[in-house]
A and B are shown apart, each in its own frame.
Chain A
Amino acid sequence: DAEITQSPRHKITETGRQVTLACHQTWNHNNMFWYRQDLGHGLRLIHYSYGVQDTNKGEVSDGYSVSRSNTEDLPLTLESAASSQTSVYFCASSPNLGEKLFFGSGTQLSVL
């Protein structure tokens, strides 16, 4: 079955380190998204992509970057991890504009 997978499931890192979270989907969806979820804030959009070589900033993009070199993957990079980036990160994809999102199982990131 097609799916969307995130790795790692859990990550502990130190402030200042570069961290990359992986997201891979096998649905061949054009649209991919990264959200973070924190208590009191809900899901907030970090970056998104509508296709290969396309990337866009979301509402909380500072300190994060993404790249889209193929349809299946949208890795999220924290250039220099900060304690404020401790969160649960969800990747999602959708086949067409305006359609529902399918989420990965999330990555719990702790920055110490």
Chain B
Amino acid sequence: RKEVEQDPGPFNVPEGATVAFNCTYSNSASQSFFWYRQDCRKEPKLLMSVYSSGNEDGRFTAQLNRASQYISLLIRDSKLSDSATYLCAVNSAGTASKLTFGTGTRLQVTL
């Protein structure tokens, strides 16, 4: 089983829709969780950290479910500019600063 797994998609949604992605992780001792956004051929950029109590940043909501070992990202009122690949990242076993990335979920928002 991979350490971090994501559905590669693509998720094709119309503008204004709500879309959610999940990311599962295998190490129950993981402590740090992040969502990154990556545009084609560009570097990943931090979208948001994921906190135990869940957190929101505008149209984006991130949640952590430790019991089932997954994190989620919810995007409300999708914009064309949200089209990108969303990567989840989880700190590796035993080393807090070594992040393991999922392969990413591709989102395409259409008119």
Residues of A within 8 A of B (CB): 31, 33, 35, 40-43, 45, 48, 50, 58, 88, 90, 94, 96-106
CA gap between A100 and B31 in the complex, in Å: 12
Residues of B within 8 A of A (CB): 31-32, 34, 41-46, 49, 87, 89, 91, 95-104
| Closest 3 pairs (CB-CB, A-B) | A42-B103, A98-B96, A103-B43
A100 & B43 in contact (Cβ 8 Å cutoff):
no
B97 & A97 in contact (Cβ 8 Å cutoff):
yes
A48 & B98 in contact (Cβ 8 Å cutoff):
yes
**What is the CB-to-nearest-CB distance from A80 to chain B, in angstroms, rounded to a whole number?**
27
Residue numbers in B under 8 Å from A104 (CB-CB): 43
Known contacts: A103-B43, A104-B43. The answer to whether A98 contacts B101 by CB under 8 A is no
CA gap between A100 and B47 in the complex, in Å: 10
CA gap between A67 and B79 in the complex, in Å: 43
A42 & B102 in contact (Cβ 8 Å cutoff):
yes
CA gap between A33 and B98 in the complex, in Å: 8
Residue numbers in A under 8 Å from B104 (CB-CB): 42
